[in-house]
Amino acid sequence: MKEFILYTGCTTPVRLPAYERAVEVVLEKLGVKLTTMKDANCCGAQYIESVNHVAYSAMSGRILAIAESMDMDILAICGACSGSLKHVKHELDNNKELRNEVNDILEEEGLKYTGTVEVKHLLQIFREDIGYDAIKSAVVNPYKDVRLAAHYGCHVTRPEEIVHVDDAENPTIIDRIIEAVGGIPVDYTGKTRCCGGPLLAMDEEVANAIGRDKIENIRAENADGIVTACVFCDIQLTQVQFGEGSNDKPKIPVITLPQFLGPAIGIDFNSLGIHLNKISPEAILEAH
Amino acid sequence: MTKKASSALVVGGGVAGMQAALDIANQGFKVYLVERSPSIGGRMAMLDKTFPTLDCSACILTPKLSEVSRHPNIQLMTLSEVGSVTGSAGDFKVKIRRKARYVREDLCSGCGDCEANCPVEVANEFDQGIGFRKAIYALFPQATPHIYTVDKENCTDCGRCVKVCERNAIDMNMKDKFVTLDVGTIIVATGFELFDITQYPRLGYGQYPNVIHAMEFERLINAAGPTHGHLVRLSDGKKPKSIGFIQCVGARDVQKGVPYCSRVCCMYSIKNAVMALEHDPQAEVWVYYADIRAFGKGFEEFYEMAKSRFGVRFVRGRVAEVMEGKASHDLVVKVEDTVTSKVRLIEHDLVVISPGVIPSSGMDTMAKKLGIDQTDDGYIEISHSFFGPTVTKIPGVFVCGCADGPKDIPDSVSAGSAAAMKATIILSSGGK
Amino acid sequence: MSGSEEEPRIGVFVCHCGHNIAGTVNVEEVAQMASKLPGVVFATDEMFMCSDAGQVLIKDKIAEHNLNRVVVASCSPRMHEPTFRRVVEEAGLNRYLFDQVNLREHVSWCHMREPEKATEKAKDLVRMSVARAAKLQNLPVKKVSVLPTTMVVGGGIAGLRASLDIAERGFDVLLIEKTSKLGGNVAKWTHLFPTDESGADIIKPLIRDVKKHNRITILTDSKVSEFDGYIGNFGVTVKNLKTQKEQRYEVGTVIVTTGFEPFKPFGYYSYGESPDILTLAELQELTPSEQLLKPSDGKPVKKMVFIGCVGSRLPGVKGHEHCSRHCCSATAKAAADLRDSVEEVLVLYQDIRTYGKGHEEFHRMARQKHVIYSKFPQNEFPQVTVKKGKLTITWRDVLAAEDLSFEPDIIVLATAMIPPEDVEETSHLFSLTRSGDGFFNPEHIKLAPLTTHTAGVMIAGAAQAAKNASEAVIDASGAAAKAVGLMAQGEVEIESTVSHVIPELCSSCHTCLTACPYTAISMDETKDPPVAFVTEAKCHGCGTCAAACPSSAIVMYHSTDDQILTMVEAFLCPAPEAQGGS
Amino acid sequence: MTDQTKTESPINHAPSSGFAKEIEQEPGGEGIMKCIQCGMCTASCMVASMTERYRPRKLIQKILLGKREEVLTSELPWLCMTCKLCEERCQEDVDLSQIFTAVREIAAREGYVPPVFQNTIEKVLEDGWMLNDAYTDFEEDDRSDLGLDPDLGWNNEFTKKIKKRYFKGGDAK
């Protein structure tokens, strides 16, 4: 049985606990064991990253080092976290100076980065460690006639040569999983574009305009729902459908990948925290 | 010294190879011209018009084709490929595989009765798969030699062509033949291929029916092409009122492994833009570029004319995305006009991508057989840009045309003549 | 004139040219009409007359109906007249018994939108051609021998290369250079951008080999002062510019490699107002040193600016509309190299045309070394001012939308390649035409870039258009191949469609001599009074003389008055259909 | 800038490669010189499609021209979402988001950090993670209902250490 250490990141546990839970139950059902990382810290994405490269490297470095100390590969379910951890791992592996600096700080708590652990994003677990066939065969009640638009998340898939998750210009993992469980994956304009989330701090108006633009592109293909693989994207694509600037058109449910996958492999809504979703996806999840 | 082989081998029957063959033959030496397709003519035969004079490509090429095929000193070997090569300057032994044509070259008169009676229709590679041809076919009307060829993969062996052929030229049991040539010198003129633009999913080629590439456009506007020269959209047969040309795709792209400039895309696109307006003066035609490279004789003047007289609109900016309206199949191009810093969404009925030029397939094996070097880009390495621009590291082996890098037609022709000059020096001195 | 007196049996072949003609002109109808014309025994239409199938058709029909005249109604004779002449010849007819009608350029392409009228015009033209065909006459096919010597005019890199190739191939070369040194522009350049070599490194070995080759005769300080004769047999007078002595030579072929001259941009960017404003060519001529020094005070250059397209790409400015091709790559390499010793290097440009092999790498290297590239607006050129020897340049950077100014130590102007000042002389001497860029026109810009409309005279290198040295070398070898081709064959066919003076009618007025653009006519002094006569190999058959002759003493073979007037007649009064048919 | 200053020389900026060199020395800034200004980035950028004021290509050119003050004191480098769509497409392989990160780092050293960023940075360095004060009983209940551990057990010692070591006195200077 494969085992990973789950790094939840700051946002999922607070803003989207259902996602965290869904990951646990779905992966368990598909034969992947998880241990949640404790005594962790923020990966430093975006904020620390922007102002001090070494500090940023140290923060992500510590997370990598903790995983090493427990001798487990890391599962990241947030785009920003997986992006940071992979990026910093790449740098620590290729920049001796930086690694020494980081290890110098880590030493005080008996931690050390040597580069033995891998960082994987949820999508990789599905493709590499579980596989589409295993998912197919796990399906007990496949979906029928539901059209779903996949949103992958920028930091999940880019830069391709560092994160190694999927084809950055033409990603397919989520779509193939949607297919595997009987849904209809729909293509839409600007599939690989950003949700706007990262700009919320600097310019909420533009950030939301970007998010709404994506929603409208998805609506244009008459999708019933949106499947995500990043907590920030999920929250952003949900919240832009509320409040000012959002039109009165019907809201499109935004569902995290495990929440969508769960019901098809026989997991009940409660264990997936479906009731916590801001735009109810039940109509979709009941379409069998 | 003993006189050695006084004949030459030219590999590749495109415009460069033909020119090289002619210039050697005109000096009285024997030339074997080996071409892997059923006809000589190369890429130029597929083009509609040529820049900067808008000459009809086939029309100016045909005399060369017949000149080559009728030259007493040139022996054409079409549907043929180079095998092993041994020996040295003045005395090479080259094995040639002559693929079975299933039609006797000595008997076929090119009358076309067989084609008329063939029931099998397959996509016509000469028309870039837009039009159809039969399973027994001639590549194009002026195909040289004008001898039919059976496409065994698609032939159903129904036997109709065999029956109707009055000269009994069709022989379905024909086998590949191997011949060994003694030649004093070898000229490589294997030409180029177009970059596979499906590697740019963001531009929609292969997903959107109205995104085509330049060579497809050439066939679409060609009077002898699949649409008889009517420029229409493949999705609905409508005349495009707005056309966008996208430059530097598969060229000047470090990330896609083609860091070099393809040299011809700017001009052939300007030419195609002008032709589009010739077909429909009311149309809107746009060209999206990073630099316009109109560097040859008369090119800049042609570019200027395209702007001022024809009203082709040029936008300095590389296109990031092509989007499609699912129902209408109309297209929208997303680009920054870098001169005004405006992000523009421009609607088109038709988008034509200008693919860059890459070495022809099989270049690697060809280079190995001959023992010559290749550049990082995969083209044939020349010995020195001043002392030997057509010379390879193997004495007696020369290169011309696009085999050593992208070139336009006049540059390929000059290089063909230059390679011929070097080759005949070898021949006249018996390899010294 | 046997073979052409007999009853005309004319075959008419109307070409579809795919849909080029048939898409507009009703070709079946035209062929129909033609079949009823007097003298026509066969008429048909065919998809592509120029294709093998079409050519075979002509031959078959000549045999079948024993035709003695052939009319092909297709495209411009410019391309395919030779093709069809060859075809009828192979079928046993004299090549001059063929006539071609241009239904494509003259009808279908220019009347696309009015098919009916186009078809009528097509019929008129075919009718006229058939009438003319009936009057066509056999003409002899003439050959002249080719002397095994090539004269190469210009001792630059192209001339040297061509000379050496021809000599190594076993033919004699007469190399003419107007200056006292071989090597041309390349030799002057201490740094031959965009390469790493110095001009000398490139040119010295070439000059050495040329000098020691016993088949090459070198005449420096010399110019061609007279040029006559014809393909295979040219007479040349070469004048030594020092001694003023003249000497005659006989050559079979000529290669013109007179090259270019770097434009001196007076009136552009304050050129001439300061020694620190120089052209790229002048920069390349500076004696190389660790540190680039200011021409004015010899102090090291700390800041410099390159400006591109100076005197190039200027719409409406005669002789300066063309792109000079070599400058972008040369500038990129120069900027990159100099950046090592110069603190700040700017390149002000319009487009960056680093098209050649390895040139994009120079461009990248320059940027990598912190050369600053700044694009200026198309119609708003940078302003250069010189105050007390101090240079200031102000311009707008289009891409950052910023107004900028800079105070460089030197400014380098990448100026146009233009023809040498004596180009006009050269073009008259060899009857070469020139294009807008001022350089010589090739015979065909796509497929015959090295030959010219003067048979036996080739062009190579920058004589043909702006080019870099490597491209000039390729041209040179190519042109050499053309010359050798002629000399190896030993003899060459010449046109018989030439003018002929009927001595009895000539009034010795010399009008034709002045009228002839090819100096093909001269006076036969052996006659009394002297009468004009035509050197056929030089005559292009333009007919100017025949038209000019006040005593109608000149006949244009293949375009006789009779042949022309029957066409007019056929147009004005169409023969009644009844008369037609067999 | 007044019109008079736009055209006449003395006030005009004098190009300099200094700023680009400085950025090249920062981690991530190495590729700055590769840009040929083709506009692929701007055309790919969603921020640029939604607001006129941000043009990544133009920002790069300002850097290449050496407009240090203007760039460091402006909000522009902070408008990049680091979505890296442009990097995926750039035909000269320029990593814009990393370049802008390098610019931000220089700006930070000189005290030009947008307040919103500054606040979050302070929080993270204090609490060890981002959402400390957003984590209320509500969320705790949700987690318990889902069978998740309500105690998130974040470590806040390490970031304090980081703050001391890399952020003199705590602000980003």
Q: Are residues D28 and D60 in the same domain?
A: yes
Q: From B248, which residue of chain D is nearest by alpha-carbon distance?
A: D91
Would an 8 Å CB–CB cutoff place D93 in contact with chain B? yes
Pair type for strands B313-316 and B284-289: parallel
What is the number of alpha carbons within 13 Å of residue C20 lying toward its C-beta?
Answer: 26
Q: Tell me if B152 is assigned to some domain.
A: no
Backbone torsions φ then ψ of C29, nearest 5 degrees:
-60, -45
Chain D residue with CA closest to A107: the answer is D158
Same domain (yes/no): B342, B367: no
Residue D32 and residue D83 share a domain: yes
Instruction: Please tell me the predicted confidence (pLDDT) of residue C495.
Output: 86
User: Do D123 and D160 belong together in one domain?
Assistant: yes
**Both B231 and B351 in a single domain?**
yes
Q: Is D105 in the same domain as D123? A: no
Among D16, D34, D62, beta carbon nearest to C400: D62
Summarize pLDDT for A195-227 with one digit per residue, the tens: 999 999 999 999 999 999 999 999 999 999 999
Return the H-helix or E-strand segment holding C284: helix C280-285
Distance CA B208, CA B199 (A): 14
Query: Chain C residues with CB inside 8 Å of B109's CB?
Result: 56
The residue out of D109, D125, D146 marking a domain boundary is D109
**List of chain C residues whose C-beta atoms are within 8 Å of the C-beta of residue B280:** none
Q: Do C401 and B416 touch (CB under 8 A)?
A: no
**D104 in the same domain as D130:** no
Asked if the Cβ–Cβ distance from B323 to A189 is below 8 Å, we say: yes
* In a domain? residue D24: yes
Q: Is residue D44 part of a domain?
A: yes
Please tell me the predicted confidence (pLDDT) of residue C5.
Answer: 63
Looking at residue C357, its amino acid is: K
Nearest of C322, C269, C301, C228 to residue C535 by alpha carbon: C228
How high is the ipTM of this complex?
0.94
Q: Mark whether D98 and D155 lie in a shared domain.
A: no
Residue B142 lies in a domain: no
Given D109, D140, D157, the domain boundary residue is D109
Q: Check D149 against A36: CB less than 8 A apart.
A: yes
What confidence tens digit (pLDDT) does each residue in B285-333 have? Answer: 999 999 999 999 999 999 999 999 999 999 999 999 999 998 899 999 9
Cβ distance of B201 and A221 shorter than 8 Å? no
Mean pLDDT of D67-88: 97
Structure tokens at C511: 């009008």
Q: Which residues of D touch B317 (CB under 8 A)?
A: 38-40, 42-43
- Rg of chain C, C-alpha, whole Å: 30
Please name the member of C352, C372, C392 whose beta carbon is closest to the beta carbon of D64. Answer: C372
Min Cα separation B225/chain C (Å): 9
**Partners of C523 in the β-ladder:** C532
Residues D85 and D121 in one domain: no
Q: In Å, how far is D14's CA from the nearest CA of chain B? A: 21
Residues B210 and B332 in one domain: yes
Residue type (1 letter), C451: T
Residues B347 and B405 in one domain: no
Does some domain include residue D141?
yes
pLDDT at position C579 is 45
Question: What is the full DSSP assignment across A81-92?
Answer: HHHHHHHHHHHH
Tokens 């007249």 -> residue:
C81
Domain count, chain D: 2
* Contact check, Cβ <8 Å, A40/D155: yes
Contacts of C331 in chain B (CB under 8 A): none
Residue B287 is assigned to a structural domain of this protein: yes
Q: Which residues contact C528 (CB under 8 A, 6 or more apart)?
A: none
Split into its structural domains, chain B has a count of 2
Q: Which of residues 202-231 of B touch C (CB under 8 A)?
A: 222-224, 228-229
* Shortest distance, CA A169 to any CA of chain B (angstroms): 7
If we measure between CA atoms, which residue out of B179, B265, B173 comes closest to residue B214?
Answer: B265
Residue D87 located in a structural domain: yes
Say what the pLDDT of residue C575 is: 62
Question: Cα–Cα–Cα angle for C541, C547, C553, nearest 5°?
Answer: 90
If asked whether residues B333 and B402 sit together in one domain, one would say: no
Asked if residue B394 and residue B313 are part of one domain, the reply reads no
Q: Which class for A91: exposed (0-12), middle (13-18), buried (19 or more C-beta within 10 A)?
A: buried
Inter-chain contacts counted by CB atoms under 8 A, chains B and C? 227
D75 is a domain residue: yes
| Structural domains of chain A sorted by starting position, each given as residue range(s) with its CATH number in brackets | 2-121 (1.20.1050.140), 140-285 (3.40.50.11810)
Indicate yes or no: CB of B326 within 8 angstroms of CB of A190: no
B80 occurs within a structural domain: yes
Q: Do chains A and C touch (3 or more CB pairs under 8 A)?
A: no
Domain of B48, CATH number, reads: 3.50.50.60
Same domain, B293 and B308: yes
A169 near B CB under 8 A = yes
Give tens-digit pLDDT for A15-51.
999 999 999 999 999 999 999 999 999 999 999 999 9
Q: What is the pLDDT of residue C477?
A: 98
Compare CB distances from D14 to C363, C368, C404 and report the shortest one's residue. Answer: C404
Q: What is the pLDDT of residue B432?
A: 56
With contact defined as beta carbons under 8 Å apart, do A65 and A112 qualify? Answer: yes
Token pair of C538 as six digits: 């030089």
Alpha helices in A108-172 (DSSP H): 122-124, 132-138, 154-157, 160-163
Q: Is residue B277 one of the residues assigned to a domain? A: yes
Residues D79 and D129 in one domain: no
- Asked whether residue D67 falls in the same domain as residue D42, the answer is yes
DSSP states of B190-248: --EEE--GGG-GGG-BTTBTTEEEHHHHHHHT-TTSTTTT----TTT-PPPSEEEEEEE
Domain membership of residue B119 (yes or no) is: no
Task: Identify the domain boundary among D91, D109, D127.
Answer: D109
DSSP one-letter string for B31-87? EEEE-SSSSB-GGGGG-SEETTTTEEHHHHHHHHHHHHHH-TTEEEE-SEEEEEEEE
Min Cα distance A102 → chain D (Å) is 10
Kindly report the length of chain B: 432
Question: With touching defined as 3+ CB pairs under 8 A, do chains D and A touch?
Answer: yes
The answer to whether residue D67 sits within a structural domain is yes
* C-alpha distance from C450 to closest chain D C-alpha (Å): 36
- Which residue, among A160, A165, A156, A146, has the nearest Cα to A226 in the 3D structure? A146
Nearest to B356 by CA among B288, B256, B287: B256
Asked whether residue D11 is domain-assigned, the answer is no
Mean pLDDT over the full length of chain A:
96
**Shared domain check, B200 and B339:** yes
- In chain A, what residues touch D49 (CB-CB under 8 Å)? 210, 213
Of B356, B382, B414, the residue at which a domain comes to its end is B356
First to last CA, chain D: 30
Quote the domain boundaries for residue D147: 115-166
H helix intervals, B237-387: 265-279, 299-308, 363-370
d(CA B181, CA D98): 59
CA distance A149 to A215: 10
Q: Judge: D49–B341 Cβ closer than 8 Å, yes or no.
A: no
Tell me the chain C residues in contact with residue D65 when contact means C-beta distances shorter than 8 Å: 372, 374, 397, 400, 402, 404
Residues D25 and D103 in one domain: yes
Q: CB of C505 within 8 A of CB of C553? A: yes
CA–CA min distance B304, chain D (Å): 21
Report mean pLDDT in 10-residue bins for chain C, 582 residues. Answer: 70 92 95 96 93 89 96 91 93 96 94 94 97 95 95 98 98 98 92 79 95 98 94 96 97 98 98 97 87 95 98 96 96 95 97 95 97 96 97 98 98 98 96 96 95 95 96 98 98 92 94 91 92 90 94 95 94 64 38
Is the Cβ of C397 closer than 8 Å to some Cβ of chain D? yes
pLDDT at C52: 78
User: What is the distance between the alpha carbons of residues D96 and C95, in angstroms, rounded to a whole number?
Assistant: 69
Last residue of some domain: B333, B356, B379? B356
- List CB contacts (< 8 A) between A169 and chain B: 200-202
Other residues' Cβ atoms within 10 Å of the Cβ of residue C298? 7
Residue D76 lies in a domain: yes
- Only one residue has tokens 């607070």, namely A14
Are residues B181 and B293 both part of a single domain? no
Predicted TM-score of the model (pTM): 0.93
Amino acid identity, position A255:
I
The pLDDT of residue A257: 98
Give partners of A (≥3 CB pairs < 8 A): B, D
In chain B, residues with a C-beta closer than 8 Å to the C-beta of A223 are none
Are D104 and D128 in a shared domain? no
Q: How far is D15 from chain C (nearest CA, A)?
A: 7
Task: Tell me the Ramachandran region of residue C389: left when phi exceeds 0, alpha when psi lies from -120 to 50, beta otherwise.
Answer: left
Question: E strand or H helix at C35, and its extent?
Answer: helix C27-35
Domain boundary among B356, B379, B397: B356
Chain C contact present for D20, CB below 8 A: yes
Which residues of chain D does C399 touch, with a Cβ-Cβ cutoff of 8 Å? 37, 57-58, 61
Contact D162 A59 (CB under 8 A): yes
Residue D147 and residue A21: Cβ atoms within 8 Å? yes
CB contact under 8 A, C50 and B23: no
* CA nearest neighbour of D45 among A231, A165, A206, B330: A206
| Residue A137 burial by Cβ neighbours in a 10 Å radius (0-12, 13-18, 19+) | exposed
Is the minimum CB–CB distance between D90 and chain B shorter than 8 Å? yes
**Same domain? B228 vs B364:** no
Range of the domain at B225: 195-356
Q: What's the pLDDT at D10?
A: 52
- For residues B187 and B210, membership in a common domain is answered with no
Residue B323 sits at the chain A interface (C-beta within 8 Å): yes
Residues B329 and B296 sit within 8 Å (Cβ to Cβ): no
Residue type, B65: L
Q: What is the pLDDT along chain B (432 residues), one digit of tens a residue?
A: 445 678 999 999 999 999 999 999 999 999 999 999 999 999 999 999 999 999 899 989 988 998 999 899 999 999 999 999 999 999 999 999 999 999 999 999 888 899 999 999 999 999 999 999 999 999 998 899 989 999 999 999 999 999 999 999 999 999 999 999 999 999 999 999 999 999 999 999 999 999 999 999 999 999 889 999 999 999 999 999 999 999 999 999 999 999 999 999 999 999 999 999 999 999 999 999 999 999 999 999 999 999 999 999 999 999 999 999 988 999 999 999 999 999 999 999 999 999 999 999 999 999 999 999 999 999 999 999 898 999 999 999 999 999 999 999 999 999 999 999 999 999 998 765
Could you say which residues of chain A have pLDDT below 70? Answer: none
